[in-house]
Structure 1
């Protein structure tokens, strides 16, 4: 059944409205709104994974063991939350310009925030939870196709199930069938359909041709066409996306990315890098071992040496200069206990996927930059900066920690 957004997860509308009023309808960014929205959706997605672990079926343990994939989902939710924040502020600013008094503005703004932060957020909250569950299911089942080479499509079976989805109840196809790239649930907003793994002996009498015809019949429905236009009809668990491009709030994503990358410490009401560096007490540690000794202490995953950050994001680390080697202890502190983490893009029009970790030390600041290339997140560079103005150049984008 659909979840109800918990009271502790709700967004305080009146303080947001007051901030727009105080900015005289020129509030371009609101860090509290962005971070609260992202936090709610991240938590719901994570809870979906955990809930699915507790709903074991036929001895299959559910979960996602791929940190790279989890990072892709996480960044997708940050992008979505940033876009929603931007669009909501644009609409609130418009209401300010139309209003003749604070009371008139507040009445209209409360209705708008109710739509954004209650009605729509409730659906988005449920979607994140469902995708968490579905992704946990998909990636565990993909690892057990030797035991369960077939999957069955199931609905909850109550009176809220869509007719088109009810018509697919009981469809069984091979786990590697191309149709699972299209109909892997959820298949619409608040869709609660799920899969059950089946062994070969359980499907001995199945007519797979008829099963395919039932899927094709669904794909010819208006309901499928509408859902597809709204970003469904894809396997998000395979894509690493909770919300597809069609479901992002800004219509022109490249312009939104430019806007996000232009944000800096002032938009988040942070102190300057000079102030933060001057208050740091700890000296940056120096690594005195060899490169071989450093690599020996890292995990080896898919033939790559990786180092994890505070949220178990994995970064591939390749060969390095002597200067970088000496900074590896400071690097580990910057990754595992950063003072700030920024999400931005190397090119302004690109989707933000570059993570910048910052750790302030007494007299210097360690900056580490990791980017995503294909399915590999690589730690491109890390360096120590003494000039505060140089540090500010890296304090750009979406502040995620």
Structure 2
């Protein structure tokens, strides 16, 4: 995930929560984190297979360790380096796409730019200089990166369309992994990658989701505690945020928990922008809290801020939920 953020050039703290960039970075980092979980699963499967040799005989401990170390070198040195570089490149190109969409009223076209040296693939070299509208279907499948270690990029342009004499409406398909627009789909690694091809897909995907949310909870709280604590103006009045509430919000179950936790870091903005929708008494009588107030974010229908009111009429932020219990 660090590679994606590095390439994107910003982390969540530097992006407005209701901007396309925030949603895109959320998708990209989730995809990269999920990929890491599937990679780990793939390595474990291959490690288990190493317990036996090609003839089906159990290896000795020393032989198993020798083969396992070879596998580890493949996965965590050779593969890892390539995958990290791909994450950085994809993050950078996703950000360039978002910027292009944002300024397409000034620069309606994109130009494909290859490096043009002895390392450049022949196919990519042919595309150098192609200039097409941002909405052209060519960019759905041939937006860089177009292969591992691809150095190609794009440039925003207001120059005339130029297809370089190529049939841009019927281009040859790229490898499935790269037949994608990373900026549109928010994916660094597609489901076509070999790591994702496992009969345990659902189980690993669920594990990845839970692991990513657990990582957020454990790593975000030390950074957010105290820095977010304070009093903020909201649609219903001044609301106090304390460290207990920050921890509660991060741990709160949610249908879109990964995005919710990324939004917790933008809590001051959320409280300012959320609009009041309803108030309810506690489902069970409570000696401290008399009302629960619910505020919704206009940009996210499933992000509802919960504010508790005590018997003195003071408001306290409590959590973020996807639906109201009644």
- Does the pair score TM above 0.5? yes
Q: Deviations over 1:343-375 (max 9, x none)?
A: xxxxxxxxxxxxxxxxxxxxxxxx96x7xxxxx
SS in 2 for 1:152: strand
Q: Distance in 2 between matches of 1:319 and 1:241?
A: 37
1:83 touches 1:249 (CA, 8 Å); kept in 2? yes
The reply to whether residue 95 of structure 1 matches residue 54 of structure 2 is no
Which residue in 2 is equivalent to 1:179? 138
Contact 1:83 1:248 (8 Å CA) reproduced: no
Residue 239 of structure 1 pairs with residue 181 of structure 2: no
Write the distance in 2 (CA, Å) between the matches of 1:180 and 1:95: 42
Maintained 8 Å contact 1:151/1:196: yes
* 1:118-137 alignment runs, 5 A limit: 118-137=77-96
- Which of 187, 195, 213 is the equivalent residue of 2:154? 195
User: 1:293 corresponds to which residue?
Assistant: 237
Aligned ranges for residues 1-400 of structure 1 at < 5 Å? Answer: 42-50=1-9, 66-98=21-53, 99-199=58-158, 202-203=159-160, 208=162, 210-211=163-164, 213-216=166-169, 219-220=171-172, 225=173, 227-229=174-176, 231-247=177-193, 249-252=195-198, 255-259=200-204, 261=206, 292-293=236-237, 308-310=263-265, 319=278, 321-323=280-282, 379-380=321-322
Corresponding residue for residue 345 of structure 1:
none
Structure 2 Cα separation of the partners of residues 161 and 107 of structure 1: 37
CA distance in 2, matches of 1:78, 1:116: 16
CA distance in 2, matches of 1:106, 1:320: 62
Alpha-carbon distance between aligned partners in 2 of 1:80 and 1:327, rounded to the nearest angstrom: 45
TM-score, length basis structure 2: 0.62
Gaps spanning 5+ residues in structure 2: where? 11-18, 211-228, 242-260, 293-317
Deviations 1:110-143 (A, max 9, x none): 1111111112212211110111110110101111
For structure 1, the residue ranges without an aligned partner over 5 or more in a row are 1-41, 52-63, 266-284, 298-305, 330-366, 371-378, 384-401
Partners of 1:118 and 1:89 in 2: how far apart?
16
What's the offset of the Cα at 1:214?
Answer: 4.5
DSSP-derived class of the 2:50 partner:
helix
The equivalent of 2:216 in structure 1 is none
Moved over 6 A (4+): 262-265, 294-297, 314-318
